[in-house]
């Protein structure tokens, strides 16, 4: 409860205490500490959250990734790119979401690679994230994703291409405009 309360207060001075809590033996405490760090949204929380991304408990990893998405700091992009290869598809979906929230151009290549993930939710979320980033470097991957066998992936890729097209004046994409 103390860890939860620190998150509710949303004061960056609690980050060092929460960083200590991320090392607790109890996975519920580690998960709650990750949540609290996400609530505080301070870049000091990135390092302990990156450590939690390697936790043996998937729910702890997911919460740490969610928290990094809430902090929205580009300093987490390289660690999140690694998490796009996690064995748990829910972790990969949250990772793609977090990268979309951060909107850092360094995430384009790992997200384009995630467009070929075996899980359709990962592919659709990666397409959405690329639309949030709006980088023309994602065009080829998103154009290929428009041919995905799953409708939600095709839809997300088309939406993403429109986002990129709408925000880059000299760009023409094959995004299905009428």
**Averaged pLDDT for residues 96-123:** 98
pLDDT in tens, 151-173: 999 999 999 999 998 766 655 55
CA count, 13 A, side-chain hemisphere, 90: 9
Residue 178: CB atoms within 10 A of its CB come to 2
pLDDT in tens, 120-139: 999 999 999 999 999 999 99
**Averaged pLDDT for residues 139-146:** 98
Of 113 and 165, the one with more pLDDT: 113
CB within 8 Å of 148: residues ≥ 6 apart: 115, 120, 123, 154, 157
């Amino acid at each position: 409860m103390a860890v939860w309360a620190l998150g509710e207060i949303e004061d960056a001075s609690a980050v060092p205490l929460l960083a200590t809590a991320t090392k607790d033996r109890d996975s519920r405490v580690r998960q709650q500490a990750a949540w609290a760090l996400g609530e505080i949204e301070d870049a000091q929380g990135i390092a302990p959250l990156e450590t939690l991304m390697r936790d043996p408990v998937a729910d702890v990893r997911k919460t740490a990734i969610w928290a990094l998405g809430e902090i929205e700091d580009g300093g987490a992009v390289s660690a999140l790119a690694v998490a796009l290869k996690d064995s748990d598809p829910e972790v990969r979906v949250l990772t793609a979401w977090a990268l979309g929230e951060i909107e850092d151009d360094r995430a384009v290549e790992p997200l384009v690679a995630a467009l070929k993930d075996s899980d359709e939710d990962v592919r659709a979320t990666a397409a959405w994230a690329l639309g949030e980033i709006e980088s023309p470097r994602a065009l080829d991957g998103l154009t290929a994703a428009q041919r995905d066998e799953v409708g939600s992936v095709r839809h997300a890729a088309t939406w993403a291409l429109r986002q990129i097209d709408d925000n880059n004046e000299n760009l023409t994409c094959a995004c299905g405009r009428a």
